[in-house]
């Protein structure tokens, strides 16, 4: 990663130099200018951000709701349903890819940002993670709220969610990380720049300018900057959320 960052500021001749140099002798930002000039990286960036927002929002809502039901309610077949949800984690995405694509085509959402987001709107891992946290929230808090006349949606909003902030933060970071670098489904579901994301943009860029290693390194740096920023800014919440979920679960 250090060499990638260093090479992104070097001219091509210095990148190919032997022995390599870690610190650019002739630092330049032209590589970054060329990346944004040659391909619509700004559009790819915007698409990736929109897809990430859609997926994170959906995963947080569906995971916390389903986890609340599995953690605090009793109903016939509860364990079987939870087992089936966890079992879906063992099914490779490649097995579900063709059915998902056929569904997307029938819904008319291919080559749209919603279509790129579609397979990840519900996440079994998110349900499991949130259940492990919610199950440790004292049931007495919920019972007191019910005695006071609170409805189930109000209990979920006022009692459950405020006690799950750390777990929600960890899940949001997890979801953002793997969604930002997802490659296979966006490659299949996007046919134009209108819905292509950063990984697809990088792949297309590498195909067109494979010999320009310095440009590729600049593109790679541009792609990973959001991941680094998110982790650096939210590292504390991420670690606390994972630690507390693991300890309490």
Nearest one of 134, 138, 136 to 161, comparing CA atoms = 134
The total number of residues shown for the chain amounts to 249
Of 30, 10, 34, nearest to 20 by C-alpha is 10
Q: What is the pLDDT of residue 115?
A: 94
Q: Check which CATH number belongs to the domain holding 219 and give it.
A: 1.10.3720.10
pLDDT at 247: 45
In the chain, helix, strand, coil percent, each to 5?
A: 75, 0, 25
Encoded tokens for 110: 């291919």
pLDDT value for 49 = 94
Query: Is residue 241 classed exposed, middle or buried when 0-12, 13-18 and 19+ CB atoms within 10 A define those classes?
Result: buried
Domain range for residue 7? 2-248
pLDDT for residue 34: 83
- In the chain, how many domains are there? 1
Phi, psi of 209 (to 5 degrees): -130, 45
For 47, the token pair is 């698409």
Q: Rounded to two decimals, what is the model's pTM?
A: 0.86
DSSP letters spanning the chain: -HHHHHHTTS-HHHHT-SS--SS-SS--SHHHHHHHHHS-HHHHHHHHHHHHHHHHHHHHHHHHHHHHHHHH---TTHHHHHHHHHHGGGS-HHHHHHHHHHHHHHHT-TTSHHHHHGGGSS-HHHHHHHHHHHTTS-HHHHHHHHHTT--HHHHIIIIIGGGGHHHHHHHHHHHHHHHHT--HHHHHH--STTT--HHHHHHHHHHHSTT-HHHHHHHHHHHHHHHHHHHHHHHHHHHHHHHHHHHH-
pLDDT number for residue 245: 56
Q: Give the pLDDT of residue 248.
A: 47
- Which pLDDT value is given to residue 11? 80
pLDDT along the chain (249 residues), means of 10: 81 78 82 84 92 96 95 92 93 91 94 94 94 90 90 91 88 90 92 90 81 82 86 74 55
pLDDT recorded at residue 47: 95
Angle, alpha carbons 196-112-230 (nearest 5°): 55
């Amino acid at each position: 990663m250090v060499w990638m960052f260093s090479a992104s500021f070097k001219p091509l001749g210095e990148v190919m130099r032997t022995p390599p140099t870690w610190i650019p002798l002739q630092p330049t930002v032209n590589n970054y200018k060329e990346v944004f000039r040659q391909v619509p990286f700004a559009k790819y960036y915007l698409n990736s951000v929109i897809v990430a927002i859609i997926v994170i929002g959906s995963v947080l809502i569906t995971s916390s709701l389903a986890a609340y039901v599995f953690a605090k309610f009793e109903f016939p077949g509860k364990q079987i349903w939870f087992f089936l949800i966890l079992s879906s984690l063992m099914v490779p995405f490649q097995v579900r890819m063709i059915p998902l694509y056929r569904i997307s085509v029938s819904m008319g959402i291919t080559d749209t940002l919603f279509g790129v987001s579609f397979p990840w709107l519900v996440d079994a891992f998110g349900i499991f993670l949130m259940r492990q946290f919610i199950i440790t929230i004292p049931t007495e808090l919920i019972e007191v709220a019910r005695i006071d006349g609170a409805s189930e949606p109000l209990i979920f909003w006022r009692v459950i969610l405020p006690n799950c902030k750390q777990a929600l933060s960890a899940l949001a970071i997890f979801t953002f990380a793997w969604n930002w670098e997802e490659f296979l489904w966006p490659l299949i579901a996007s046919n134009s720049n209108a819905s292509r994301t950063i990984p697809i943009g990088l792949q297309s860029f590498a195909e067109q300018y494979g010999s320009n290693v310095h440009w590729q390194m600049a593109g790679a740096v541009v792609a990973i900057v959001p991941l680094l920023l998110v982790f650096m800014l939210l590292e504390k919440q991420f670690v606390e959320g994972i630690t507390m979920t693991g300890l309490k679960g």
